[in-house]
Amino acid sequence: MAATVDHEADLNKYAPNADKAKVAAIVKYLGIALKNQDSSLVATSDKEELARIRDGYAKKKLGLADDKAIDAAMKKVAERMKGDKNKSRVCFYYLLAEETGALDKLA
């Protein structure tokens, strides 16, 4: 079981003015995935994982359609977070929504 994580504090490193309601929406969306240490993190070097994020979260939750634009946005987020060995899934998802201008899709 994953240790209790303060998602807002983790995100504060990258988006100090992150919308708490949007963070809560991502936590709710991810649900049980956050209970496991491995699934609570994003492996940005794993192409299959990034494809799952693109095809699941980015397309279904955020309503994005352009694979190339999504991939480019994920690359930017990964670069932004490169200093973190363990990349929080909540943080990655928030920054992806922010990067693609889709934060308003999180309710």
Q: How far apart are CA 73 and CA 19, in angstroms?
A: 20
pLDDT at 1 (0 to 100): 42
Strand 41-42 to strand 87-88: parallel, antiparallel, or no bridges (unpaired)? Answer: antiparallel
DSSP state of 41: E
Q: How far is CA 22 from CA 43, 48, 51, 94, in A?
A: 22, 26, 23, 8
- Determine the Cα angle at 64 with ends 61 and 70, to 5°: 110
Write the Ramachandran bin of 76: left for phi over 0, alpha for psi from -120 to 50, otherwise beta.
alpha
pTM beyond 0.85: the answer is yes
DSSP bridge partners of 87: 42
pLDDT at residue 2 is higher than 50: no
pLDDT in tens, 27-77: 999 999 899 888 999 999 999 999 999 999 999 999 999 999 999 999 999
